[in-house]
Each structure stands twice: as C-alpha cells, then as structure tokens.
Amino acid sequence: MSDKQYYYAVARIRTKELSLLSASFLEQLLGAKTVAEGMRLLTDKGWDTEQTAGSESERVEKMLLSEKKKTRALIEEMVDDMSVFDVLRLEYDYHNLKAAIKQALTTDEHQGIYTEEGTVPSSVMRDAAASRDFSALPERMRDIAAEAMDVLLHTQDGQLCDIMIDKAALEAIYDAGKASGSDILKLYGELKVASADIKIAVRASKTGKDRKFLDAALAKCESLDLDALAKAAVEGTDEICEYIALTDYAEAADELRSSASAFERWCDNLIIRNIKPEIYHPYTIGPLAAYMIARDNEIKTVRIVMSGKINDLPEDSVRERVREMYV
Amino acid sequence: MGIGTALALAGAASAALFAGVGSAIGVGRGGQAAAGVVTEDPNKFSQVLILQLLPGTQGIYGLLIAFIALSRLGVMSGSPAELTVGTGLMYFFACAPMAFVGLVSAMQQAKASVASIGLVAKRPDQFGKSMIFPAMVETYAILALLVSILAINGIPS
C-alpha cells in the first residue's frame, strides 16, 4: 500500500507546508496580549477564525475543529485509500468506544463526548453500544467492545473498562503501524505505544498499582521490555527512570523526573523530530503522514497557547508546554 | 527481408521505443507533481512546466537515433538494404546505448525533476538551482546519444 507513489499529493503538500506554523510564529502567538490578538495572528496564517458565536473558549475550539477538518478533507481529496492512515486515527475510534459504552449504561445524555476523527462514524459506535450488538464495528473492535461492556455491567468499574479499551487501542495502533508498510507510520505506532506504556507505568507507580494491573494495561512494542518496565513500576518512579535510561528513550528519564507534562511534551517532540526527514522525500506516503502529524501537533500547540491566554496563565508556564514544530 | 536487416530494424525501433517509454513515464510523473504545485499556486506554472519537460528529451534522442539508423538502412527511401547478420548486429548494438540509457535516465531524471518541483514549490527563488539537479542526469543520455551516433556512422555501408 505504501509502495504507491504520490507525486501529485506530495508536491501539493510541499506548497501547503509553507503555511505550517513555525517556532518563530509560536513565539509571536505566545506574545499576543489577548485571545483576539492571537486569533488575528492565526487569521493571517489562513486559519479559520471566523466563528463569532459563543465564548472565547468555544470559538477557539470551533477554530481548531475546523482546522482538523480542513486537513482531513485535503488528504482525502488526494489519497484514494485512507486506510493507510488508520494508525493516526485509531485512537479516536477507541475513545468513541469508551464514550459509547459508558453512555449506554447511563440515563443522562452527554453532549460533545464523541469525535469524528476516527475510522468509524461515532453514530455507528453509539448505536452498537446502545443495542449491545457490536457486529457493525470493525472485527478488531467487536470482542473488546463486548468484553468491556460486560465488565462495566458486572463490576461498575469504569477504570477497568478504560484499561481494557486503552490497551486494545494501543495494540491496534501498533499493528496498524506495522501493517502500513511505511517506515514513518511504523515508527509513529512504535513511539505512540512506547510513550503510552511509560506514562501508564509512571501513573501506576504513583498510585500504587500492582503487577497484575500493569500486565493488564501495558501494550507490547519493540523498544521496551514490558516485564522490566512493569517490575520497575512496582518498585517506584526512580526505578522506572533507571530502566528508561537503558532504553532508546534515555533522554526522557530527566523529563519523567520533572513532570508528566514535560514527559508528554518530550514524547510529542520525539515524534516530530523523527518525521522531519520527510520534508525531503519527494513522492512516498511519508510526507503526507508527516503533514497530518505536523498539523495535529500544531493544533495541539495552538490549543495550549490559546487556553493559556483564555485562563490568564503566565507566558513562561505556557511556553514550557509548547511543542517543537515540523517546519 | 533477411535476419541482418531485421536485427538492424529491431535496433532502430528499440532506440525509439525504450527511450520514448522512459520519457513518457518521466514526463507523466513530472506532470503529476507539477499539477500538485499548480493546484495550490497557479503562479508557478511556467517554472514547474520546464521541470516536468526535462525527462522528455530522451524520447527525442531515441527518435533521432531511429531516424539516422533507418536513413542509413534505406528504409526512409523505401528500399531497405539487405544486410548480413554481422552488420545487422552492428546496427542493433549501435542503437542499444540510446535505448537502454534513454529508458533508465528518463526515469531517474523524473525522480530528480519531481524533487526539484518540490523545491520550487517551497522556494521559487531557487528555480535556477532546481534545474541543475535533473539536468545532471541528462549528461548520461547525451553521452549515450553520442555513442550511438558515432557507432552507427562507423558501420561500413
């Protein structure tokens, strides 16, 4: 699938890359005195800031959603088979599955809990959970959906349900990365799963979870020894850092000691650094995948910066959360 | 028509055929990339058009070799010469450099052209430099053209 050559699409993406946000632009955005000033800067960059209804927070969210839709529409216009990008979209399917299962077991109707960025429409997920018939879902999701719903029904343990679905999501991302045949998508899957495993280990360690929990939550990947990670997590956060220092993620040990958000930022930056060589590839699927990841990354960063402005957070505290940019 | 004449005609045809196929593939790939750039920025049409056309020269060189060979064989005047197998083979191998180097160089030049179109998409001020990269591949097509011309002209009539 990834052997296909995308001459038209990559050349078009090269032009679109000119409008990606740079580090210097983010400095400007950080320096904006108000949300309105930040929105003006984004308008100059071609972002859809024309939303006028609602609070500042709602307008920012609408703008970010619109930008996500624009990226997806652009790629869909150029690529016949979007399944090659499943690795980037599967996490949203499993997010929707969690939301649908929990929604099905409550009487309250919650709004805005679904996202349309996955591979399965949220309405299909919602209907499947409501009818407790998961046959309309992709095969990989059917068993875990039924199992998670069963567990939630019998134990009322939302965390256990989350762990089961999150692990299935990580396994699906890892498998989709490998199946894509694209080096960059495989790497994305690997990094996504490895960083999630490290985060799970740290949280489990801090909340005193046992080995059984870790075995249930950690998903396999090539760059981590899950047995060693779980063992370290049972012993403590310092032991996790010691183990991480022996892996490909040695640089992350200091970030882990510092804070969870510093580690998350490091993970996102690691992915961006690894996709940067795609700027020079002229016709493979890689530059398209890199553009999608880069757009997600800049949307996430703009959300951080604008949320900081809305909540009057100090500029320095927002700056330390700002991600590296692709261009 | 004897085997010698058939071999000579096969050589002439292969020069036009393989070099032409290479150019068609190359210009097609370049065209796809050029269309991608023009979709977003129509002002770059003339720059990317030139880069698209660069892999097209091999097809012209192949045609030229085929013409020279066919003229010498008398096919153009309607009275093809009867050649020995040895002379036919000489024509065949004289045309071979243009046929095979034409095919491969056009396809490789297309890759360089596509990359240069990407370069122009991002940095239109570097158009001059972007032309040089695919043009370097042209060197080898020209060398093959020269060898084929010299070899055909060197075959005793």
Tell me the CA distances in angstroms from A149 to A109, A161, A162, A214, one per residue in order: 18, 7, 10, 21
pLDDT means per 10 residues, chain B with 157 residues, are 92 97 97 95 95 97 97 90 94 97 98 95 94 96 98 92
The highest-confidence range among A148-157, A315-324, B55-64, by mean pLDDT, is B55-64
What percent of chain A is modeled with pLDDT above 70?
Answer: 99
Question: How confident is residue A150, by pLDDT bands cut at 50, 70 and 90?
Answer: very high
Q: Is ipTM over 0.90?
A: no
What percent of chain A is modeled with pLDDT above 90?
Answer: 69
Cβ–Cβ gap A11/B122 under 8 Å: no
Question: How confident is residue A3, by pLDDT bands cut at 50, 70 and 90?
Answer: low
Whether A71 shows a pLDDT value over 70: the answer reads: yes
Q: Which residues on B lie below 8 Å from A13 (Cβ)?
A: 36
- Domain definitions of chain B by residue range: 3-154
Cβ–Cβ gap B33/A7 under 8 Å: yes
What is the average per-residue pLDDT within A221-227? Answer: 94
Q: What is the CA radius of gyration of chain A?
A: 20
pLDDT digits (tens, 9 = 90+) for A15-65: 999 999 999 999 999 999 999 999 999 999 999 877 777 888 889 999 999
What is the average per-residue pLDDT within A241-249? Answer: 92
Question: How confident is residue A282, by pLDDT bands cut at 50, 70 and 90?
Answer: confident
What is the average per-residue pLDDT within A73-94? Answer: 92
Q: Determine how many CB atoms are found less than 10 A away from the CB of residue A150.
A: 13
Question: How confident is residue A83, by pLDDT bands cut at 50, 70 and 90?
Answer: confident
* The two three-digit tokens of residue B79, written as one number: 């009275």
Q: What pLDDT is stored for residue A1 in this prediction?
A: 44
Tell me which of B25, B41, B116, B122 to substitute to probe the interface with A (most A C-beta atoms closer than 10 Å): B122
- A75 vs A4, more confident: A75
Superfamily of domain B3-154: lithium bound rotor ring of v- atpase (1.20.120.610)
Q: What pLDDT is stored for residue A259 in this prediction?
A: 82
To the nearest whole Å, the CA of B152 is away from the closest chain A CA by 38
Of A5, A7, A17, the CB nearest to B36: A7
